[in-house]
Structure 1
Amino acid sequence: MTFGDKIRAAREGHHLTQAEVAAQLHVSRKTVSSWETGRSYPDIGMLVKLSDTYKLSLDQLLRRDPNMINHYENQNTLSKRSELISHISYYLNIVLLFITIINRLKPMPFGIHYLSVVWFLNVIILMGFVDYHNFFQRKVNRILFIVCAIVITIAVLFLNAPVLAKNPAYAAGQAFGSLTISFFYVISFLFILADHSIAGNKQ
């Protein structure tokens, strides 16, 4: 018996409709239907909830369904790969941020400029691994983000004020570019401080 057959039989045995199960699990009825027909599988957390709802052990749900076991094995492989990439991206961010800042303060040989582009792209990649809900749940992260954003905005406007008076169009473009770069500095720095929110770095 497949996983879908098992949960459908268990649901009917408890005299529940797909809509009632969906309401209990806080998912859509189509999701429950998709599980029962084998078009998709629940994640591990939802699998535990199904086990509790139908009073079936995880072993009973998973046994004798090679397709489902293969699904979770593939998910585990992808999770490990994602964890490895996030670790590499996180530590690469630290190194590249340091090099980029040094290069801004004291320009290095031309080849080093390419590392700034790599840093920029790496920050974008790192954004995909951040648990933003967990990140902004911490009060200190919210405060740091707001303070950094305000300070950098004021600093950029102040530094561009003389140019703005002489050439507004040029200064506006320069200010926009500076704000964009500064935004990535803030994000990159906060990612270093909040490594617990990066996928793969969570404890």
Structure 2
Amino acid sequence: MKFGNHLKQERLRRKFTQQKVAQDLNVSRQTISSWETENSYPDISSLIRLSDYYQVSLDQLLKEDTGMTEYLKKQEILKSIRPIIWILTTIDILFLGFLILSMADIVELTSLVSIIIVSMGLLNVIAMITLVRFRNKIQINVKPQTKHNKVIFILAVIFFFGAAVFYSLNEYKLSGFCSGILIGLLTIIIIKKRKK
């Protein structure tokens, strides 16, 4: 039996309404409905609470439902990816900091070191983009990126490459201009993500 059907059957067997179950478990009625229709799945702690609430073993709740077990596996993968994304983001921020410090003539870099740093930064950005795309592919119920968000992201990548190229050509004013626009675009992206 499917997970959602099992939940619904347990609820109806006890003659509970979705509202009552939602109040008892401190979630919304829509959440209970979504679990029962399998539009979403509960996290591990909610799953344990459901098991206790209906006095049904986890094995019985999950039995014969590959969708739920697949969801739990994906959640584990997403959890393991999170630190990698943070590390790549930190490296990108350090790279931009180095770039800004060298443009402000606070740190002097030789041309070979500049090329190596820019190359590493570009490779890191590519790795970050690939990892985020992978995360979005395996995530369940992710709202598709709007066209507006994609345009901002593409512009950010273009200005990043522009800043790196102009810097390597010793065109510091153009590189600074591109970096400024890049920072603005990244700020917009961060603000949009926090609003979600």
- Give me the TM-score of the superposition, normalised by structure 1: 0.48
Highest relative contact order (Cα 8 Å, sep 6+), 1 or 2?
1
- Give me the TM-score of the superposition, normalised by structure 2: 0.50
